[in-house]
Chains A and B, each alone.
Chain A
Amino acid sequence: MSGFLGLLTRDLRLALRRRADASLAVLFFVLSAALFPFGVGPEANLLARMAPGVIWVTALLAVLLSLERLFLADYEDGSLELMVLAPQPLELTVLAKALAHWLTTGLPLIAAAPLLALLYNMDPAGLPMLILAMALGTPSLSLIGAIGAALTLGARRGGVLIPLLVLPLNIPILIFGVAALDAALGGLNPRPHIMFLGALFLGSLVLAPIAGAAALRQAME
Chain B
Amino acid sequence: MHRFANPGRFLRLSNVILPWIAVLAAGLIAVGLYLALFVSPADYQQGESVRIMYVHVPSAWMAMFIYTVIAAASASSLIWRHPLADLVAKASSPIGACFTFLALVTGSLWGKPMWGTWWVWDARLTSVLVLFFLYLGHMALMGAFDSATRGARAAAILALVGFVNVPIIKFSVEWWSTLHQPASVLRLDGPSIHPSMLWPLLAMGLGFKLYYLALMLVRVKSELIAARLNARAATAAQLS
Contact = CB atoms under 8 A, between A and B. Distances in A.
Interface of A: 147, 151-152, 154-158, 161, 164-165, 167-169, 171, 207, 211, 214-215, 218-219, 221
A155 B157 contact: no
A219 B146 CA distance: 12
B157 A215 contact: yes
Interface in B45-100: 78
Most buried by A among B126, B130, B136: B130
B162 A169 contact: yes
A165 B160 CA distance: 12
B89 to A, nearest CB: 14
Interface SS of B by simple majority: helix
Given A156-B145, A169-B162, A151 B154 contact: yes
28 contacts: A147-B158, A151-B141, A151-B154, A151-B158, A152-B154, A154-B150, A155-B141, A155-B144, A156-B144, A156-B146, A161-B140, A161-B144, A164-B136, A164-B137, A164-B140, A165-B137, A165-B141, A168-B130, A168-B165, A169-B161, A171-B126, A207-B161, A211-B160, A214-B157, A215-B154, A215-B157, A221-B150, A221-B153
Give the interface residue-count category, chain B.
20 to 34
Interface of B: 78, 126, 130, 133-134, 136-137, 140-141, 144-146, 150, 153-154, 157-158, 160-162, 165
A209 to B, nearest CB: 12
Given A168-B130, A168-B133, A168-B162, A218 B157 contact: yes
Contacts of A161: 137, 140-141, 144
B134 A168 contact: yes
Contacts of A219: 150, 154
Nearest to B154: A151
Nearest to A158: B144
Contacts of B134: 168
Contacts of B158: 147, 151, 165
Given A151-B154, A155-B144, A161-B137, 7 more contacts: A158-B144, A164-B137, A168-B130, A211-B157, A215-B154, A218-B157, A221-B150
A161 B154 CA distance: 12
Contacts, number: 60
Contact of A155 (B130, B136, B145, B162): B145
A151 B153 CA distance: 9
B94 to A, nearest CB: 15
Given A171-B130, A218-B153, A211 B161 contact: yes
B167 to A, nearest CB: 13
B157 A168 contact: no
A171 B128 CA distance: 12
B79 to A, nearest CB: 11
B145 A168 contact: no
Contacts of A171: 126, 130
Contacts of B160: 211
Contacts of B150: 154, 218-219, 221
A219 B145 CA distance: 11
Contacts of B157: 147, 151, 211, 214-215, 218
Nearest to A203: B164
Q: Which 9 A-B pairs have the closest CB atoms?
A: A155-B144, A168-B133, A218-B153, A165-B137, A168-B130, A164-B137, A151-B154, A211-B161, A215-B157
